Amino acid sequence: MISTPAESERHDRCWLAWPARYDVWGELLPAVRDDIALLARTIARYEQVLLLARPEQAEAASVAVGRDVKVVPIPVDDLWIRDTGPTFALHDDEVVGVDFGFNGWGGRQSIVDDQHVARRLLDHAGVRRTATPMVIEQGGFEVDGAGTALATRGCLLNPNRNPGATEADVERELAALLGIRKVVWLDGAPGLDITDCHVDGLARFVRPGVVLVHQARPGTDPDWERVTERTLATLSTATDADGRPFTTIPLPEPGELRVGDPALLEQFVASYVNYYVAGGAVLMTSFGDRTADDHAAGVLCDCYPGRDVVALDLDVLMSGGGGIHCATRDEPA
């Protein structure tokens, strides 16, 4: 039997990656490394953390993250291991890694090492690898652990990933490799951001049948308003693999941002749903809007009872077009 556990299930460890390239981050490279170090140290309070870093950068990375984080010398380009790393699944009781193709989000970012990260990580971990030529970033789909996935057409069906691919093609691949029995397709919006609207900034499973949905504030961004409205409309009539209707919980974006530098705002992701569920905690981003930050923390406390909700200031990381979830890769136990 093949299955893909939900992120809220028990982990063996969490993987992160050390941002490597000045040509990607420019003058922000030291600051984004500080953000990754903070994230790694925080997760390490709750579960084992392994950090990939280029061999020549491994020593400096180790100093930054501290002794509770193990640094693994594997070449990387950037920090977005949710997309570059493997997708872990269970084949009966064996953890296996699926190596989906990665092409730099449809060719938007040059890649030298990130296209090999999944294979190299699995080799290091001693986890059996299954490869497929289909380009699927895990930020583009979300699983409930019971056979249902949410996915965005704007990403997974984009010609810049899988030319000519249909919903049925992707569904067959996810079923064969991950045990997904039903995909609920959300429109997303190709071209809206570097990812073509990854689902992990839009909608996340709390548990089977319950979905947290990013809610754009009226008058802020009409494109995002339309995306979130269509997402809620789709989920209001959809059912999961077991025929359950969905309960949706809107999570409004912040009205104000702590960030004032226009250079940081061009690709900034102001979504509370891009959180990470660790062993005993939920890690979320704070944005400097105290009312919205507190509301999001309260919602996550209600959704994940028994876990600490830890809010982190990661403005530079968020300016890169992703968030906490995009920078983490959970490996199930």
pLDDT band of residue 306 (cuts 50, 70, 90) is: very high
Cα radius of gyration rounded to whole Å, the chain: 18
SS3 label, residue 98: strand
**Stretch 161-182: mean pLDDT:** 98
The per-residue pLDDT for 224 is 86
Q: What is the DSSP string of 181-241?
A: -EEEEE---TTSSTTSS-GGGTEEEEETTEEEEEEPPTTT-HHHHHHHHHHHHHHHH-B-T
Which residue is listed with tokens 């984080």? 69
The per-residue pLDDT for 17 is 99
Please state, rounded to an integer, the average pLDDT across all residues of the chain. 97
SS3 label, residue 329: strand
* CA separation for the pair 48, 69 (Å, rounded): 7
Q: What is the pLDDT of residues 60-100, one digit of tens each?
A: 999 999 999 999 999 999 999 999 999 999 999 999 999 99
pLDDT at 271 over 80: yes
pLDDT at 101 over 80: yes
* Cβ contact 186:230 at 8 Å: yes
In the set 14, 155, 197, 326, the catalytic residue is 326
Instruction: Let me know how long the chain is.
Output: 333
The per-residue pLDDT for 1 is 94
Token pair of 305 as six digits: 């009872």
**Stretch 182-197: mean pLDDT:** 94
Return the number of other C-beta atoms located less than 10 Å from residue 333's C-beta.
13
* Cβ contact 142:203 at 8 Å: yes
**Stretch 197-216: mean pLDDT:** 98
Which residue in 320, 333, 299 sits closest to 39, CA to CA?
320
* pTM of this structure: 0.97
**Stretch 165-178: mean pLDDT:** 98
φ and ψ of 26, to 5 deg:
60, -140
* Cα 191 from chain centre: 18
**Stretch 27-41: mean pLDDT:** 98
The per-residue pLDDT for 96 is 98
Q: What is the pLDDT of residues 136-159, one digit of tens each?
A: 999 999 999 999 999 999 999 999
The per-residue pLDDT for 261 is 83
Which residue is listed with tokens 């891009």? 274
* Cβ contact 146:242 at 8 Å: yes
pLDDT at 328 over 90: yes
pLDDT at 322 over 90: yes
326 is annotated as an active-site residue? yes
**Domain at 250, CATH number:** 3.75.10.10
pLDDT at 220 over 80: no
pLDDT band of residue 296 (cuts 50, 70, 90) is: very high
* CA separation for the pair 156, 161 (Å, rounded): 7
* CA separation for the pair 68, 65 (Å, rounded): 8
* Cβ contact 39:18 at 8 Å: no
For residue 186, what are the domain limits?
A: 2-332
* Structural domains of the chain, count: 1
pLDDT at 263 over 90: no
